[in-house]
Chains A and B, each alone.
Chain A
C-alpha cells in the first residue's frame, strides 16, 4: 500500500472570473473538509500547474499557496510536467509520505485569460521548441497526426472519434463539476463542428478550462471512505513525434501502466473503470490500448459496442473526461484521481458504475512525453502482495 486518498475537493471546471488563489483555496478547503482535517494537519503541499508563467506571469506557486495558509510555513513545491503535472504531483506526494503523514496535492490552472493564437502557442510549449513548435505543430496538429496514423494502421474511423465524444458529453451531463455539464451535445452539434486540424474537428478537442482539484494523501487510512493507492508510476519519453518510429501508441504510457499494474499486483482485466487522458478523442482510444484494456487497434471496437460507457464492461471517463469534463491542465491529473475515488467510494450518484473495485488513472503530458498512471482500489481493499 503506497498510501491512501483520504480527502478530495474539486471546483467546477470551466471559465470563471475566480482568480488562481481563489480556485486553489476552493479545492483545498473542500479536500480538508472531505478528510475532516485542518490545514495544520498537513505535512507538505505539492502544487501542480503548467501555464502560470506564460499565461499569467505567475510562477513560484508554492509560495502563492502558502498565502492561503498563512503562518504554517509548510514545505511546498510546484511540479510542471505539461498536462501530466497533476499525475506527477500525486506520484511525488506518495513519495513524500516517507517524510510526512498527510500530503496535499493541489492542481490549479487558469486558462481563460489568454485566448486564441497566444494560448495555442502557450499550450504548444509542451512540445519541442525546435522539432515541433517551429514547424507549427500545435497540440491539435500533433494528435491529428496520431489520429491519421491510427486510422491508417488500425482502421479507426472518424465515426469512432465521434462516438467517444458523444459518450463523454453524455457522462458530463451527470457530473455537476464538468465544463459541459449544462450543455446537451447532439450529433447535429458534432456535425456542425469546424475542422481544427484534420481529421480532428471541434468536438474531438477538449475545451480550455479554469479550475482546481485537490486530494489529500495519507500514510494510514482515516476511515471507511479512505481509498488505498496500490500503484503509482511515472514514465517519460522523447518529446516529439519526430523522435519516435511508432505514432499510434505512447511508450511512456505503456511503461507507466506496466510498472503501476505490477506494483498493484493487478492485471488490466481486473480494472473496473479508467480515467484516461482524452485531450482529444483519439487520445482516449490510444490510452485505452496503452493501458491494456484493449488490444492495439481494439479500442474502437469497445467504443462501438458501448463497452466504455457507464454500465459497459469497462467504463472510461465517467466524469466526462477532459473532452467534456474540462481540462484545467495542472488540475487534470488530480481531477482524474477525484473521479476515481468518488466511484470507488460508491458516491458518484447518477454516474455511478456498478461494482467499482479497481480504478486506473492515466495522465499524459504532451504527445506522450510524460505519463503518470495510478491504480486505486475500493475502500477496505487489502494489498494483494
Chain B
C-alpha cells in the first residue's frame, strides 16, 4: 500500500516517496486512501520469489479518491467488492478471544495480530501471561517494523481473568486435546461471552457434540481446526456439531477465509480428515520401526522422497508431540471401535518414558533444545 502525493499547485500526482513537484518545486501533499472497490482481480497460480505461496489474488482497486492500487490478497476477492487498502479486517468478528498458551494458541494469537485483529488471550496465571505475550511479540518483531509492532502490542490483552471475553466477537479454544479440559474451557468462556458472540474449538477431531454438551448456546459453536504453524499453513478444517446453526458455520468459514486460509468443511467424524489420514501413517511408520524395517532416519527419508512429503512421519510425530499423537489415536480407536487405530506399543512406551518428542528433547529422534525455549 502506497500513498498518493499531489501537487497543490498543478494537481500532478506522484506515487513515489518524493517530496517535491518536479514542475512547481513545491512540497507535495500526501494522502492514504482507506478503502476502495475492486475494478479487476486475477488469481495468480505461478509463484515468484517473495510470493511463493500460490494461489493468491492481485486486485486492481480504485480508491475513494479515484487513485488506483494493486493489492495482493491471500483470499479470493471479487470484482466490485469493497476493499480495505490497509489490510485491516472489514469483518464483524474483529475482537477475538483465545484460550490456551500452547503452540497452537501462540500461533493463533500471532496470526490474529498480524491480520489486524484485537485479541484477548486467556492464560493460566499472570506470570504465564507475561511470558506468552513476550514470546508472541518476539515472533511478530521478525516481520513487523516498530510501529506495526507497537500497534500489535496495543491490540493484545493477556491475562488470567476471563471477563475480557465479554468484549469478544469470537472466542477460539485451543487447550489440550482432551474432551474434559476442552469442554470445561469452552463452558467457562461462554459464561463470560456476549450472547451474540461465536465460540469455536480448535480440536483436531474430538466429538463436537461431546464438547458442546455443557454449552448454553450450542447453535453458536463450531470447529475451526488450524494447523501448525498457524501463520503459515493454509488449511483450516471447519466442522459443525449437530446443533451448530447454518449462520454460525457460514460465519466461521468466512472468518477462516478472511485470515487467508482455505477452509475445508468436514463432518464431525473422528479426527476429521487430516488426522484420520495422518495418524495411521505415523502408526505404520512406528510399526515398521518395531519390525526393524529400517532405522528412524531411513524410514523418514524413504517417505519424504517416495511420497514427496516435506517431513517424515516420525519427525512429524516428534513435532506434534508423541503424547498428543497417542491420545488422538486412542480417541480414534475408541470412537470407531477399530483397535488398529490404537497407538503401537513402541509409541506407548516412549510416552510412558516421558520421551514426548521435540518438547522434551527426545522422541524418535534426539532434539537439541532451542535457546530460550520452550517457555
Is B a genuine binding partner of A? yes
Which A residues contact B (CB, under 8 angstroms)? 116-118, 120-121, 124, 128, 130-138, 140-141, 144-145, 148-149, 152, 194-200, 238, 240-245, 247
* B51 contacts across to A, CB distance below 8 A: 117, 136, 138
Q: Which of B65-73, B135-143, B152-160, B329-337 contacts A (4 or more CB under 8 A)?
A: B65-73
Interface contact A136-B58, CB-CB below 8 Å: yes
Q: Cα distance A197–B79 when bound, in Å?
A: 15
Which residue of A has the minimal Cβ distance to B45?
A195
> Which one of A136, A149, A200, A242 has the highest number of Cβ atoms from chain B below 10 Å of its Cβ?
A136
Asked whether B18 is an interface residue with its Cβ less than 8 Å from the other chain, the reply is no
| B48→A121 contact, CB < 8 A | yes
Chain B positions within 8 Å of A118 at CB level? 48-49
Q: Which residue of A lies closest to B69 (CB)?
A: A242
How many angstroms between the C-alpha atoms of A136 and B42 in the bound complex? 11
B2 touches A138 (CB 8 A): no
Q: Smallest distance from the beta carbon of B346 to chain A beta carbons, Å?
A: 41
Given contacts A133-B50, A136-B58, contact A194 B45 (CB under 8 A): yes
From A120, which residue of chain B is reached at the shortest CB distance? Answer: B48
**What's the minimum C-beta distance from B146 to chain A, rounded to whole angstroms?**
19
* Distance A256 CA – B340 CA, assembled complex (angstroms): 74
Alpha-carbon distance between A140 and B70 when the two chains are bound, in angstroms: 14
Of B13, B46, B68, B79, the contact of A196 (CB 8 Å cutoff): B46
Cα distance, A245 to B62, chains bound together (Å):
9
Bound Cα distance from A58 to B48, whole angstroms: 21
With a cutoff of 8 Å between Cβ atoms, the chain A residues found around residue B48 in the complex are: 117-118, 120-121, 124, 136, 138
B310: interface (CB < 8 Å): no
Interface of B is mostly: strand
CA distance A137 to B60 in the complex (A): 10
A197–B58 alpha-carbon span in the complex (Å): 9
- CB-nearest residue of chain B relative to A238? B15
B60 touches A120 (CB 8 A): no
Nearest-neighbour CB distance to chain A for B192, whole angstroms, equals: 40
In the complex formed, the residue of A with least CB distance to B74 is A136
Interface contact A245-B66, CB-CB below 8 Å: yes
Q: Point out the residue from B42, B50, B70, B71 that lies within 8 Å of A198, measured CB to CB.
A: B42
Which among B13, B44, B68 is the interface contact of A136 at CB below 8 angstroms?
B44
Q: Among residues 60 to 93 in chain B, which have CB atoms less than 8 Å away from a CB atom of chain A?
A: 60, 66-72, 79
Collect the chain A residues with CB atoms within 8 Å of residue B299's CB: none
Given A131-B15, A148-B42, 15 new contacts (CB under 8 A): A120-B46, A120-B49, A131-B70, A134-B72, A135-B58, A135-B71, A136-B50, A138-B48, A145-B42, A145-B60, A242-B2, A242-B15, A242-B60, A243-B15, A245-B66
Tell yes or no: B229 within 8 A of A by CB: no
A145 with B58: CB separation less than 8 A: yes
Can you name 26 A-B pairs with beta carbons within 8 Å? A117-B49, A120-B49, A121-B48, A131-B70, A132-B70, A135-B70, A136-B48, A136-B56, A137-B72, A138-B44, A138-B51, A144-B42, A144-B44, A145-B60, A148-B42, A149-B39, A149-B60, A195-B45, A197-B42, A197-B43, A197-B58, A241-B70, A242-B60, A242-B70, A243-B13, A247-B40
Q: Which residue of B lies closest to A132 (CB)?
A: B70
Q: With A145-B40, A149-B39, A243-B15 given, is the CB distance from A197 to B45 under 8 Å?
A: yes
B50 contact set on A, CB distance < 8 A: 121, 133-134, 136
Interface pairs A-B: 8 shortest CB-CB: A144-B42, A120-B48, A148-B40, A121-B49, A136-B51, A135-B72, A136-B72, A121-B48
Asked if B109 is an interface residue, CB under 8 A from chain A, the answer is: no
Q: Does B52 contact A (CB under 8 A)?
A: yes
CB distance from A68 to the nearest CB of B (A): 33
- Flag whether B41 is at the interface (Cβ < 8 A): yes
Say which residue of B44, B45, B68, B71 sits within 8 Å of A244 (CB atoms).
Answer: B68
Please, how many angstroms separate the alpha-carbon atoms of A350 and B58 in the complex? 42
Which residues of chain B are within 8 angstroms of A128 by Cβ–Cβ distance? 15
Contact B15 A141 (CB under 8 A): no
For A197, give its contact among B15, B16, B44, B60 (CB under 8 Å): B44
**Considering residues B39, B48, B49, B69, which has the most beta carbons from chain A within 10 angstroms of its beta carbon?**
B48
Q: B46 contacts which of A140, A238, A242, A244 (Cβ < 8 Å)?
A: A140
Across the interface, which residues of B come within 8 angstroms of A195, CB to CB? Answer: 43, 45
Q: Which of B1-24 contact A (CB under 8 A)?
A: 2, 13, 15-16
